[in-house]
Amino acid sequence: MAMNVIVGQSGGPTAVINSSLAGVFKTAKELGADKVYGMRYGIQGFLEKNIIDMEEKIKTEMDLELLKRTPSAFLGSCRFKLPAISADKAIYEKIFEILKEYEIGAFFYIGGNDSMDTIKQLSDYAEIIKSDIRFIGVPKTIDNDLAMTDHTPGFGSAAKYIVSVTKELIRDSLVYDMKNVTIVEIMGRNAGWLTGAVGLAKCEDCEGVDLIYLPEVTFDIDAFLAKVKALTEKKKAIVVAVSEGIKTADDKYVFEHASHTEFVDSFGHKQVSGTARYLATLVSEELGIKARSIEFSTLQRCASHLATLVDITEAYQVGGSAVKAAFEGNTGMMVLLKRISNDPYICVTDLYDVHKIANVEKKVPLEWITEEGTNVSSELLDYIRPLIQSELPPYMVAGHPRHLVVDMI
Amino acid sequence: MAMNVIVGQSGGPTAVINSSLAGVFKTAKELGADKVYGMRYGIQGFLEKNIIDMEEKIKTEMDLELLKRTPSAFLGSCRFKLPAISADKAIYEKIFEILKEYEIGAFFYIGGNDSMDTIKQLSDYAEIIKSDIRFIGVPKTIDNDLAMTDHTPGFGSAAKYIVSVTKELIRDSLVYDMKNVTIVEIMGRNAGWLTGAVGLAKCEDCEGVDLIYLPEVTFDIDAFLAKVKALTEKKKAIVVAVSEGIKTADDKYVFEHASHTEFVDSFGHKQVSGTARYLATLVSEELGIKARSIEFSTLQRCASHLATLVDITEAYQVGGSAVKAAFEGNTGMMVLLKRISNDPYICVTDLYDVHKIANVEKKVPLEWITEEGTNVSSELLDYIRPLIQSELPPYMVAGHPRHLVVDMI
């Protein structure tokens, strides 16, 4: 079927979001798409007709391989939420005008639950105006908080980074013969999947972390200090992992106890940071023990140099499956991952109604967190373990990873 | 020559300090050493006879390969400076008593310029008491601030980490179509070698960082803000690299402008941190531009997963050469690296009087910093480039790097 398609990337970047882009591009060309357009900076750039012909950027098989290994969103991304159709019809009219101008038959959006809202709204509007343009969502988020899918592409690589680097930090924490506390801050505003992954650091050659605090459980500062104190009486180096989003019983983020500053992003989410720093200061001051904080911050979402082969492959597959679904006539759907078997790990793609996915956050089940709320269960670790297996190393050129770049600025 | 030898590690860990340990161990065994002892936690543990037989920990060739790939100090480390011989003769008597007890013929200490002071003092004392025990220093520090040696093992891997991860961060910084400033804080209290290395991020596939501030140049906060403001008028994403140790004209660390807290470590060095955070806050508040700070902190000194093959090899070689030197009758010396040629890169080991190295800090020559003090010259980059080439990837087991561990705690 000859038609043009367009693809965009939205929300926070991951190490493998570009592998999904590669999957969309390659599959669309193979299924006979005429033009494969890319929107720069998601729907926001689309509205300004900031649109490129992907074939001008991906010219060789080597480019495609580099794209899979390039962190951040190749096309650029946005945090832009479409208004309700009833609130602003004009913006939808404008979008469909541009789609018509570019003769687009299918629209793919790679993103998280906020981005799936865009697919939902656009497919709803298409139904209202009887447009036959197909809208398919491609899942992506390091946070793993998308509903219905077994897990999200991007999560496995971030988890692999966290486990690998935490193992290095634990070795470092043991270097001096003195009591010390390291507090590691991990992304995940409301869902503790990434923070929970740190549990995999405990293995044959590593002591693992001592305490793990997920945002699903209310954080008690006094209980935390008591736990740390008790641990330091038994061993010299304590390593604690905290989610950036842990909150105390008064519904305040832990870092808000330190500061009155508050940032809100354009999706209305509070910007959180400084949790580990605040807790390390407390440990130093209240317990008199040397404490340091480490924020993985942006590093954990762009560490393509530690990407998981499973993750890169699945990211590519969900991109390709989205195109296949559209070419088969589907719309208003998201591609998801369905785990057939855990060991051996077998996972396939499937399709699901995006209306049941958009704006829903999937959290870690409470039964996968230990009773005291300071560790995770083996079920959680069994769930994550297959997702961090095997590597797709970067092409190292001149001593550092080579990337594919849309435009040098 | 049959004798026992002992080796210790001191100062801050690096990604390759254990490769030097592997070089000492293997070479000592090959040259006929009877026992190869390891002191836990450097000279501090030695004084408590916290001494192990290395052969009990390194049993196979595989163990030796794992040791090369293990971050942090395998034996543990310390920050302990010996008093002057005139000030405390008793401690020297105790050390030589223990050396006698273990029938030690040669003593190797892997460390930086503070650790070389230990070698200097012990070899001086040996001369005073006519002991024929040999004391040889093995260079190590990510800071590259040791005198006489072309560069220090540990520096190249930290530089490779900084370049690779900064390239990922730069891609991430370009993801949204909005003005933003990223400030990256890099280790190096007084010497800007590591911060300067970030200049290598500018290459075929990367825009590089916009400003580089080394501690060798006085930092002017107003001039910095003016520079950033001018840059944000020309481009959307600005990335700035700062050394943790930059100071303003009043000799205050930049982070001290934000805080009155001051930590001093046991070598008498101030603990510095928070420079990037402070500057990011200033950019947000004074210029009204979204700014974030990233501290590579401990991550840059323990990232064995991104170690340089050149670095691991040279670290092994300086360890081995130290043993060879001692077996040939040398004492009071440090092994150094001597660059024979830059392209092709050829580097050999040599020996030098430790008295001329201990307690001296080698800084970046001012002629390798651009006139405005906001970038580095091509000479500096040419000097660093060979040191980050090629990789020795970790053995990945179960999805994360495998390490050799002296004892699980």
DSSP for A329-375, written as a single string:
T--SEEEEEEEEEETTEEEEEEEEEGGGTTT--PPPPGGGB-TTSSS
C-alpha A118/C-alpha B5 separation (Å) is 68
Q: Measured between alpha carbons, how far is A112 from A73 in angstroms, rounded to an integer?
A: 13
Does B378 have pLDDT greater than 50?
yes
Residue of B nearest to A284 (CA): B263
Cβ neighbours, 10 Å, residue B341: 9
pLDDT, one tens digit per residue, over B303-361 is 999 999 999 999 999 999 999 999 999 999 999 999 999 999 999 999 999 999 988 89
Q: Which candidate, A335, A295, A315, places its Cα nearest to that of A188? A: A295
Q: Does B302 touch chain A (CB under 8 A)?
A: yes
Give the C-alpha distances (Å, rounded to integers) separating A100 from A37, A327, A350. Answer: 13, 18, 29
User: CB atoms < 10 A from the CB of A373, how many?
Assistant: 19
Report the pLDDT averaged over residues A314-329: 98
Residue type present at position B73: A
In a 10 Å sphere around its CB, with 0-12 CB exposed, 13-18 middle and 19+ buried, how is residue A15 labelled? buried
Relative to beta strand B333-342, strand B345-353 is: antiparallel
The DSSP letter of residue B326 is: H
Q: What is the pLDDT of residues A289-300, one digit of tens each?
A: 999 999 999 999
Residue B1 pLDDT class (50, 70, 90 cuts): low
pLDDT confidence tier of residue B409, bands split at 50, 70 and 90 = low
Cross-strand pairs, B333? B136, B353
| 3-state secondary structure (DSSP) of residue A17 | helix
B113 or A26: which leads in pLDDT: A26
Query: What per-residue confidence (pLDDT) applies to B274?
Result: 86
> Do A299 and B165 meet the contact criterion of CB atoms below 8 Å apart?
yes
Interface check for B259 against chain A (CB to CB < 8 A): the answer is no
Stretch A59-67: mean pLDDT, rounded?
97
Helices (H), B301-375: 309-327
Condensed to tens digits (0 to 9), the pLDDT of residues A130-153 reads 999 999 999 999 999 999 999 999
For residue A203, give the nearest of A174, A239, A164, A242 by alpha carbon: A164
Q: Residue B262 above 60 pLDDT?
A: no
Residue A339: pLDDT band with limits 50, 70, 90: very high
* Catalytic option among B114, B117, B143, B210: B143
Q: What is the identity of the amino acid at B369?
A: I
Q: Please state, in angstroms and rounded to a whole number, the distance separating the CA atoms of residues A72 and A305.
A: 12
Chain B 59-118, residues with CB within 8 Å of chain A CB atoms: 70-73, 76-79
Mean local confidence (pLDDT), B257-283: 67
The alpha-carbon gap from A63 to the nearest alpha carbon of chain B, in Å, equals 12
Interface test with B, best of A17, A400, A403 (most B CBs within 10 A): A400
Residues in CB range of B266: below 8 A, 6 or more apart: B79, B80, B81
Q: Which residue of A has its CA nearest to B156?
A: A399
pLDDT attached to residue A272: 55
A385 contacts on B by Cβ (under 8 Å): 398-399
The candidate with the shortest Cα–Cα distance to A167, out of B394, B52, B309, B184, is: B394
Does B175 sit within 8 Å of A76, measured CB to CB? yes
Strand order in the sheet with B211-213: B211-213, B237-243, B180-186, B290-295
pLDDT for B394 beyond 80: yes
Residues of chain B with pLDDT > 90, as a percent, come to 92
pLDDT at site B263: 42
Alpha-helical runs (H) found in A132-289: 155-173, 193-197, 221-234, 275-282
**Burial, B381: exposed, middle or buried (Cβ in 10 Å; 0-12, 13-18, 19+)?**
middle
> Catalytic positions of A, please?
143
Cβ-in-10-Å burial (0-12, 13-18, 19+) of B376 comes to: buried
Chain A, 159 to 198: residues with Cβ < 8 Å from chain B are: 160, 163-165, 167-169, 171-172, 174-177, 182
Q: Do A177 and B78 touch (CB under 8 A)?
A: yes
Decide if A326 contacts A134 (C-beta within 8 A).
Answer: yes
Mean pLDDT check: name the lowest of A267-281, B70-84, B244-258.
Answer: A267-281
Asked if the model's pLDDT at residue A223 lies above 90, the reply is yes
Determine whether B145 is an active site residue: no
| Secondary structure letter of residue B206 according to DSSP | B
Please tell me the predicted confidence (pLDDT) of residue A2.
63
A145: left (phi over 0), alpha (psi -120 to 50) or beta: alpha
C-alpha distance from B306 to closest chain A C-alpha (Å): 9
As given in the structure block, the two tokens for residue B308 are: 């340089």
**Percent of chain A's residues with pLDDT above 70:** 96
* pLDDT classification of A256: cutoffs 50, 70, 90: confident
- Report pTM: 0.96
CB contact residues (below 8 A), chain A span 362-401, against chain B: 385, 388-391, 393, 396-401
Which of B77, B115, B175 best probes binding to A when mutated, by most A CB atoms within 10 angstroms?
B175
Cis peptide, bond prior to residue A344, ω within 30 of zero: yes
**For chain A, what is the mean pLDDT?**
94
What local confidence, expressed as pLDDT, does residue B358 receive? Answer: 86
In this prediction, the answer to ipTM > 0.85 reads yes
Residue B267 pLDDT exceeds 50: no
Q: What is the mean pLDDT of residues A387-392?
A: 97
B260: pLDDT strictly greater than 50: no
Average pLDDT over residues A169-176: 96
Q: What is the dihedral of CA B161, B116, B73, B215, to 10 degrees?
A: -30
With 50 as the cut, is the pLDDT of residue A200 above it? yes
What does the angle CA B196 – CA B202 – CA B206 come to, to the nearest 5 degrees?
140
Which whole-number Å values give the CA distances from A405 to A75, B169, B199, in the listed order? 9, 13, 19
